Each structure stands twice: as C-alpha cells, then as structure tokens.
Amino acid sequence: MWPRAFRRGQACFINRHMCHETRSKYGERLMRGCSCTGTTGLAHLTCVMTQATLGTASTWVKASNEPDGWTQWNTCRLCGQEYHGTVRCALGWQCWFINSARKAGDEYLYRAMLELGIGLVAASRHEEAFGVLETLLSQLPFRKFHETIHPRLSCEAVMYLATVCNKLGWESSMVNVNKLRANFLSLVPGRPRLSGLNMLRVIIGKVFINLGEDDELRHRCALELGVCMVDQNLVAEASRFLGKAGHATVRALGEEHAICIEMHWRIAQSIYKRHFFGGNDYRDLLMASIKGHTAVLDQSTKAHGVEHPTTLAIRASLKLCFEEQLDWTLDDIPRRVFEALDEIPRPPGHKVFWR
C-alpha cells in the first residue's frame, strides 16, 4: 500500500476515467498487485476483479492463443508477472465464485478451486489454503496418482499442499484424500510421514521427472523444495540443491524470471544461515551472502519494482546480514559492495542500513 501523499493525483490504470471518481469517493484505495511500475499497475481491487471476470470473453482473449483467457485470474497481461498478496487472493475468491456452480467432473471447477488455494497461499492464509487444497484433491477423479484425469492440476495441488504443510509445520493427514493417499504412499514405500519436505521430495523425484526441461511447474517445485530446506535449516543441502537447480532454471526460464530471482535470493539466504554453523570460513560465507543478496536485490528491483513483496523480502533478508551475525566489522566489506548497494533504487521512506 502506498503512503497517502504518494497516491494523491494517481488514478486506477484499468479504468482511468470512468471508475476513479466513484470508487475513490466511496473510499476504495488504489493497490499494487503485480510487477508493473510507475502509474501503471495502481488499481482498485474491484477493477482488477471485474477485468478478470469480463476478460474471459474479451476480444483480446479471442485474439490470443489462450482461448479461455484463464491466465487473467493469475497473471497481469501488461507486465506478464503473476499477481501477489491480497490481489491474488481476491482474484482466487472471485474465480471460485464465478465457477463454483459447475458440475463435478468439469475441469474448470477444479481449476477454480486451485486458483482459490493458491490465492490463499499468496495472502499467507495457510490454514484456509490447506482446507481448500485437501478438498480439491479429495474431489479430483483419480485412477492412479500420475494418471489422473487432470495430471498437471493434481500435481500442482499436491505441490502447494506440501508448501502449506511446510509453513504450518503440519503433516497432511489426507483424511479426505484416501485414493490420493494410497496412490501417493505407493510412491514412498517405508516413508509414511507426509511432511511438506517429504511430499516435495517425492513430487520432484517421482512425479515431475516426467515434465519437460523448460516446464515452469518443474522449476517452481524445485524452488519450493529449496525454500523448505532453508526453513528447516538444512542449509548445506539447500545451498547444494538450489545451486544445481538454479543453473537449470536459468537455462530454461532465463535470469529475469520471477522463479530464478527467488531461487538466487534463497541461495543467498542459505549461505547466510550457513555462516552461523561455525567453521573458519564464516566471514567468507557472510560476505558471499551479502554479495548474493545485493545482486539479486538489484535484479528484483529491475524486474518487479521497489515495492514488490519479493523485492521487499530480499531487502529485509539483506538487512539481517548487517544486523544479526557473528562478530565482524563493516571494514571487512569491500567498498564496491557499498557502491553497488547505493545504486539500487529504494522504496519511498526506506533508509540506508548499510553504513
């Protein structure tokens, strides 16, 4: 959310002339939910939702090579990046609202439920997301786990369920998901605990192995597994795994891709955590982490803008490197690191913390 002074005179970019007077009059504030920068990307939440609802029938969609216009529920067509936070969550609810009356067996019913689950994850409403994703998995028509009627959709749902389990520290009981549970467990003999980490390992090793090298889903799952390792302090394994996966992701999706940027950040984060585990090279590890953070902060600022949640999270993570570490002094840091940091644009109101 922008500070009030900064928003004065700004207009909703979706409907610059029509909506602004009325919506602002009733107090609806402008929000940013994607990676558009400048005046583009500031919009009313209701305008984004209306745009997606109407979008499925628009001429733009018919002219594009995606005939159902589904990506309007999750991706901004101007910057090409996925919506985040509250905007993504609101779109998930709207998508579910529009599609919930469909009959069992209709693929769009399940896709809408998945959008809702992902939206709740984006807004960090993990307990609700857990319920939605387990319900979805219980309703999907299954033959075998990777031979479902909608294989991609079920893989994606399990992947998000695993990340939610990791965030909550829960294990999926899959009480309502007996068929899935039986099928999934048949892939993991002797390892019946369905923690987020175990589920992601199974998905990567046994399910997503069949996806193409340049399939985004495969790389997102690798990222989620890496995040899981970092969260659980499996830092050496995380550094190794993300380093290897990162190369493949850069090759397949390119340096500028959001998944690549987050992977590079998580690598820097795992190196930072590693320096706490002692050893003679802790100063080198800290320095490597600061350099990694600086490079990825610059990348994220360019790709997503200064106010994007990923950019802000990287900034907060870098700040920790300066505030909370083993004994060292700023004299250890080469001057060019400060110079690189000085050149990266800062969000309004954010002070320099590296001097």
Interface residues with Zn ion (CB under 5 A)?
Answer: 12, 15, 19, 34, 36, 44, 47, 76, 78-79
Give the separation between CA 257 and CA 100, rounded to whole angstroms: 32
* 83/272 with CB nearer Zn ion: 83
Nearest distance in Å: CB 39, Zn ion: 12
**Would you state the structure tokens that stand for residue 66, as one six-digit string?**
């995606």
Nearest to 83 by CA among 48, 109, 111, 40: 48
Count helices and strands in the chain by DSSP H and E runs = 16, 2
* 44/315 with CB nearer Zn ion: 44
Nearest distance in Å: CB 43, Zn ion: 6
On whether the CB atoms of residues 345 and 313 are closer than 8 A, the answer is no
* 35/269 with CB nearer Zn ion: 35
Nearest distance in Å: CB 241, Zn ion: 31
* 47/61 with CB nearer Zn ion: 47
Nearest distance in Å: CB 116, Zn ion: 21
Helix then strand then coil, % of the chain, to nearest 5: 65, 5, 35
Nearest distance in Å: CB 23, Zn ion: 5
User: How buried is residue 300: exposed, middle or buried, by Cβ count under 10 Å (0-12/13-18/19+)?
Assistant: buried
Give the separation between CA 313 and CA 189, rounded to whole angstroms: 38
Give the separation between CA 355 and CA 352, rounded to whole angstroms: 7
On whether the CB atoms of residues 115 and 150 are closer than 8 A, the answer is no
* 46/139 with CB nearer Zn ion: 46
* 15/135 with CB nearer Zn ion: 15
* 36/229 with CB nearer Zn ion: 36
**Helix crossing, 18-25 with 45-55: angle to 10°?**
140
Give the separation between CA 268 and CA 298, rounded to whole angstroms: 13
Nearest distance in Å: CB 78, Zn ion: 4
* 32/275 with CB nearer Zn ion: 32
Nearest distance in Å: CB 41, Zn ion: 5
Nearest distance in Å: CB 160, Zn ion: 22
Tell me the H-state helices in the chain: 4-7, 18-25, 45-55, 59-63, 85-99, 107-122, 126-139, 151-168, 178-185, 196-202, 216-231, 235-253, 258-274, 282-304, 309-323, 335-343
Nearest to 291 by CA among 307, 272, 310: 272
